Amino acid sequence: MKIFLKKNSGAAGLRGLRGALARILPDCRPARIPGGLSVRISSPAGAGDALPRLENLPWVASAALSDYELCPLACARGPKTFSNPLDFTAARPVFIAGPCAVEEEEAYIASALALKAAGAQALRAAIFKPRSSPYAFQGLGWPGLRTIARAKKLTGLPLATEATDTRQVARLAGVCDVIQIGARNMRNYELLKEAARSGRAVLLKRGMRATLREWLLSAEYLLKYGAKKLVLCERGDSLSIPGRPRLDLEIMAAAKKLTGLPVLADPSHAARDRAVAAALAVKALRAGADGLLIEASLDPLTALIDGRQTVSIETFRLLAAKFPCKSRI
């Protein structure tokens, strides 16, 4: 935290600020900086409560938390990797693959079996899809739960399923292994709390245009409310630079370094084109991604959602075979 004094506060203002800090944050360690104090804080929750009180002091011009002061590193809370339901302890990257949404049972089952044979370690299994248009296909909804349960039984692969509403989480957790929080819901804090309490692993995508701090604060919600296994996923900012699809590999690398959490890349949504998605997947893995969340199916051309960015089974197989071991940043 950095606290800056008003220009006319003088030595009396500095003494008053130190006294207030001793009362409000007794465990803090203040250090003099030009114009005020830099304060190290042991409790992020305490810092969040203290900030408005400090801002109201008559000598204070401004007070602000440092970027990651409210994000205790996940590596300080437990192991950096986990082996269930996704194996982040092995040397190879983790591939979660499948169509953008479950659309028809037999087609989904066929794709699931083909993806397992091609090297997938988990299945994309979305039955609820948030869409910009209210007239677009929104997913099968609850009737699709039977389909993904059948795919899990036939393939033996864990399911990664997006929850779009707090009311969905408990029922999805009864079948699915990973609760996915999509980019649109990164800031849906009640959904984050509910997913954290589900007892399942949680996959958190970075929202479009979200800063690293915003992303990690959403991760902190999940950790604070009980998530024991957490995976981050970089999905890019494809809409911010029209015609220039990309993943933010710098944010991905920073998230890995700061948290110690596994970080996947979603090349499909960053690309909006299957050929570009395959190229971005390679680039992300070479940059140190712990794996991919990628759209792949037997027949991308018939997909109701995101067919143009869905790679074929053969493309996925070649991609998985190309990276038998994790690359490192």
Residues 255-314: tens digit of each pLDDT: 998 888 999 999 998 888 899 999 999 999 999 999 999 999 999 998 888 888 999 999
As a whole number, mean pLDDT of residues 109-116 equals 98
Q: Is the pLDDT of residue 88 over 90?
A: yes
Rounded-to-10 torsion of CA 224, 127, 116, 247 = -60
Does residue 327 fall inside a structural domain?
A: no
Q: What is the pLDDT of residue 205?
A: 98
Residue 328 covered by a domain: no
Q: Is residue 158 located within the same domain as residue 243?
A: yes
Number of independent structural domains in the chain: 2
Q: Which residues make beta-bridge pairs with 263? A: 232
Whether residues 11 and 101 share a domain: the answer is: no
For the stretch 176-204, pLDDT in tens is 999 999 999 999 999 999 999 999 999 99
Residue 44's pLDDT is what? 65
- 70 pLDDT more than 50: no
Task: Give the model's pLDDT for residue 43.
Answer: 66
For the cut 80, the answer to whether the pLDDT of residue 96 exceeds it is yes
Question: Is 60 in the same domain as 104?
Answer: no
- The pLDDT value recorded for residue 63 is 87
Q: Which of 43, 64, 85 is the last residue of a domain?
A: 64
Instruction: Supply the range of the domain harboring residue 108.
Output: 74-322
Which residue among 64, 92, 111 closes a domain? 64
Rounded Cα–Cα distance for residues 40 and 261 (Å): 24
- Please state the rounded mean pLDDT for residues 110-119: 97
Note the pLDDT of residue 8: 87
Tens digit of each residue's pLDDT (9 = 90 or more) over 37-58? 988 876 666 777 788 889 899 9
pLDDT for 328 beyond 80: no
pLDDT value, residue 67: 53
List Cβ neighbours of 159 (8 Å cut-off, separation of 6 or more).
122, 123, 125, 148, 151, 152, 175, 176, 177, 178
For residue 272, give the CATH number of its domain: 3.20.20.70
Mean pLDDT of the chain: 89
| Cα 87 from chain centroid (whole Å) | 17
Residue 237: pLDDT band (50, 70, 90) is confident
Question: What's the gap between Cα 325 and its chain centre?
Answer: 23
Q: Is pLDDT at 243 greater than 90 in this prediction?
A: no
Q: Is residue 329 part of a domain?
A: no
Q: What is the pLDDT of residue 50?
A: 84
Give residue 271's pLDDT: 86
Check whether residue 183 and residue 281 sit in a common domain. Answer: yes
Query: Is the domain of 111 the same as that of 133?
Result: yes
Tell me: do 314 and 239 sit in the same domain: yes
Q: Are residues 19 and 116 in the same domain?
A: no
Question: pLDDT band at residue 252, thresholds of 50, 70 and 90?
Answer: very high
d(CA 24, CA 37): 15
Q: What percent of the chain has pLDDT above 90?
A: 65
Provide the pLDDT for residue 66: 63
Local confidence band at 130 (pLDDT 50, 70, 90 cut-offs): confident
Distance of alpha carbon 293 from alpha carbon 54, whole angstroms? 43
For residues 23 and 151, membership in a common domain is answered with no
Q: Cis (ω within 30 of 0) for the bond into 85?
A: yes
DSSP codes, 173-202: HTT-SEEEE-GGGTT-HHHHHHHHTTSSEE
Domain co-membership, 176 together with 257: yes
Out of 13, 42, 64, pick the residue that ends a domain.
64
Pair 149, 221 in one domain: yes
Q: Are residues 162 and 38 in the same domain?
A: no
Q: How confident is the model at residue 244 (pLDDT cuts 50, 70, 90)?
A: low
Per-residue pLDDT, 277: 93
pLDDT of residue 45: 65
Q: Residue 112: what pLDDT? A: 98
What is the pairing mode between strands 263-265 and 159-162?
Answer: unpaired
> Residue 46, Cα to own-chain centre: how many angstroms?
25
How far apart are the C-alpha atoms of 71 and 218, rounded to whole Å? Answer: 9
Q: Are residues 52 and 78 in the same domain?
A: no
pLDDT for the residue numbered 91 = 84
